[in-house]
Amino acid sequence: MDFLSNFLIRFLTQLQSPTLGFLIGGMIVASLGSRLSIPDPVYKFIVFMLLIKVGLTGGQAIRDSNPAEILLPALFAVVIGILIVFIGRYTLCMLPNVKIEDGIATAGLFGAVSGSTLAAALTLLETQGIPYEPWAAALYPFMDIPALVTAIVLSSIYTSKRRGTADEYLSKQEYSSKQGITARGYPNKKHERVKIWPIVKESLQGSALSALLLGLALGLLTQPESVYKSFYDPLFRGLLSVLMLIMGMEAAARLKELRQVAQWYAVYAFVAPLLHGFIAFGFGMIAHYTTGFTLGGVVILAVIAASSSDISGPPTLRAGIPSANPSAYIGASTAVGTPVALALGIPLYIGLAQALMGG
């Protein structure tokens, strides 16, 4: 019981951290009907600033690191990304009132990664003084892209099997064009093999992954130390607190949307982040004992798995699974999945790592 009471004390302390405090503050403020809002261009710029900073840190770290070290964690990230989507395919999709395509898209989004959640975890690890490999943030695309690819492939296989009629095909096209999205050679046509590369490319071209990879490249190839120390690093925590506020407000606003789809989405969105995190924590421990992956790195792997994409994932899924209902997957991720990952998942995995470090 000592572990539990220690954990609860740590948990309550972490809720007072600015990161989680602003998240919860945002949820309360929005649910009280406040007209407070952070303008969208500022929100987008904050996300850019955080991801390019995470990338710069990683890029500079990779310069001095052994590339072999990253292999096993990266492989595990790929495996977890694919696994999460299969879990969703054979749990969420089997539940009553859940449309198969909606379920697969939701699972894809929960397999994909949230840069904001990752940034929050990095900050909390630093506050708690838990060391981690600075390149650990670079695991992001290794889980994100396989999850999205798997979701789109599974959805395409399902659609092919169902032997859609011409009418259905047409209505789907219509839906897609109403959303102003072109499918760009995506797996809409029957009896055609799903092309992987366009999905990967679409993911990489998304604003979140682009910013992260640009940061990685600049950190690796240029000398960004002067701007990193004077600008990107000092602003990181403050901008993160603003982002948490926005995410809290967004979560409260999306809750209404979520109420309009099957309640099973809310159940999945609550359970899945924690479960995915524990699975990844287990994989991470294997790397910990075999290759010396730090416990901080294990936490990051768990958080990446627990997080669900809020920026880069949705557009890729809209284009890749045009028949899925965005309200279902975006609502589940933003209103429940992300707050659960942030306010329960991160403190949980950090607490677990601290308990293991103490032992």
Contacts to a copy of itself by CB under 8 A: 15-18, 21-22, 25, 29, 32-42, 44-45, 48, 127, 201, 204-207, 210-211, 214, 217-218, 221-224, 226-228, 230-232, 234-235, 237-239, 241, 245, 315
Q: How far is the CB of 209 from a copy of itself (least distance, A)?
A: 9
Picking from 270, 335, 272, the residue whose alpha carbon sits closest to that of residue 91 is 272
- Minimum CB separation of residue 161 from a copy of itself in Å reads 32
Mapped onto helix, strand or coil, the DSSP state of residue 19 is helix
Q: Rank residues 242 and 271 by Cβ distance to a copy of itself and give the closer one.
A: 242
Q: How many CB atoms lie within 10 A of CB 83?
A: 21
Query: Minimum Å distance from CB 346 to a copy of itself?
Result: 16
d(CA 131, CA 295): 8
- Residue nearer to a copy of itself on the CB measure, 9 or 170: 9
Instruction: Classify burial at 286, counting beta carbons within 10 Å of its beta carbon; exposed 0-12, middle 13-18, buried 19 or more.
Output: middle
- The least CB distance from residue 25 to a copy of itself, in Å, is 5
Nearer residue to a copy of itself within complex by CB, 24 or 80: 24
Q: How far apart are CA 196 and CA 151, in angstroms?
A: 11
- Helices and strands (H and E) in the chain: how many: 18, 0
* Nearer CB in complex with a copy of itself: 91/203: 203
- Residue 293 burial (C-beta neighbours within 10 Å; 0-12, 13-18, 19+): buried
- Beta carbon nearer to a copy of itself, 224 or 331: 224
Q: How far is the CB of 228 from a copy of itself (least distance, A)?
A: 8
Q: Nearer Cβ to a copy of itself, position 38 or 286?
A: 38
Q: Angle at the Cα of 358 (from 24 to 13), degrees rounded to 5?
A: 20
State in angstroms the smallest separation of the CB of 208 from a copy of itself.
9
